[in-house]
A = this chain, B = another copy of it.
Amino acid sequence: MTSTASLWYFESVNLYNVLCPHKTKELDKKHEFRQFKKDQFIYFPNDEADHIYMVAEGRVKIGHYLDDGKEVVSSILTKGEIFGELALAGEDKRRDFAQVMDNNTSICPLNIEALKALMKDDKELSFRLLKLVGLRLMRLERKLELLVFKDARTRIVEFLKDSASWKGKKVGYETMIPTKLTHKDIAALTGTSRQTVTTILNELKEQNLIYFDRRKILIRDLANLQ
C-alpha cells in the first residue's frame, strides 16, 4: 500500500518561482492588483483567454457547469497560487470559470502576450512554463485515479491528507488544517455528496482519527490516517 504523497486538491506553483527572479522586477511594473468581492467572477466560460492570474489574497474557485446546471469544482486556490495557465497552452476561450470566494480578494493578472514576449528572450522560462503545465497534468491524473477508482471514504481521506500536508500546521502528532471549506465544498472537490461528507467526517471523528469544527480540521495522526 504505497501511496505517493502528491497534491491535487490544492495547487502549489508560485508564479514568482516560475518567472526568473531577475525578470520579476521588470514585470513588477506591470503588477497591478485587481480587487474583488465575494462571489464576483474573474472570468466566465467563453471569455477571451488572454491572461494568467496569481492569487495575492483570498480564495478563488475554479470550476464549470454541467449541462444540467450542476457545478463542478476543479480546485480552490489560495495565496500564491496561479490559475488560467491554459491560456499559455493555446486555449483561446475559457472553458471554466474563476469565481472569488472571499471579500478583499486580490488578484494579479499577467498578460499572455507579455509572457510570450519574455519567453522569446528567456529560454529557461519556456521550460518552467512547460513544467508548470506538466505538473498540473500529473496532478490531474492522480485526481482522476482517486475520483474514479476509489470509494467515497478514500476520496475524502485522501483529500484530508492532501490538505494536511499542503495547508496543515504540525503540532506534535497532530496536524491542524485551518479551513473555511464547507462540507458542500469538500463534496464538490471530492466528487461525493454533501451528506456523504458529513457522515464520513463524523465517522472519522467517532473513531477519534480527526476532530473538526467549522473553522478547522484536526488530524490526530497523519501517518495513521487511512
Q: List B contacts of A86 (CB < 8 A).
A: 134, 137-138
Q: When the two chains form their complex, are residues B140 and A137 in contact, meaning their CB atoms are under 8 A apart? A: yes
Q: When the two chains form their complex, are residues B137 and A70 in contact, meaning their CB atoms are under 8 A apart? A: no
Q: When the two chains form their complex, are residues A145 and B91 in contact, meaning their CB atoms are under 8 A apart? A: no
Interface string of A178-197 (1 = CB under 8 A from B): 00000000000001000000
Copies per complex? 2
Most chain B C-beta atoms within 10 Å of own C-beta, residue among A120, A131, A141, A147:
A141
Q: When the two chains form their complex, are residues B72 and A134 in contact, meaning their CB atoms are under 8 A apart? A: no
Q: List B contacts of A72 (CB < 8 A).
A: 145, 149
Kindly provide the distance from the CB of A113 to the nearest chain B CB, expressed in whole angstroms. 12
Show 23 residue pairs from A and B whose CB-CB distance is below 8 angstroms, ordered by the A residue.
A2-B67, A3-B67, A72-B145, A86-B134, A88-B130, A88-B134, A89-B134, A89-B135, A90-B134, A91-B134, A116-B127, A119-B123, A119-B126, A130-B130, A130-B133, A133-B133, A133-B134, A136-B137, A143-B144, A144-B144, A144-B147, A148-B148, A148-B191
User: Hey, which bits of chain A sit against chain B, CB under 8 A?
Assistant: 1-3, 66-67, 70, 72, 74, 86, 88-91, 95, 116, 119-120, 123, 126-127, 129-131, 133-138, 140-141, 143-145, 147-149, 191
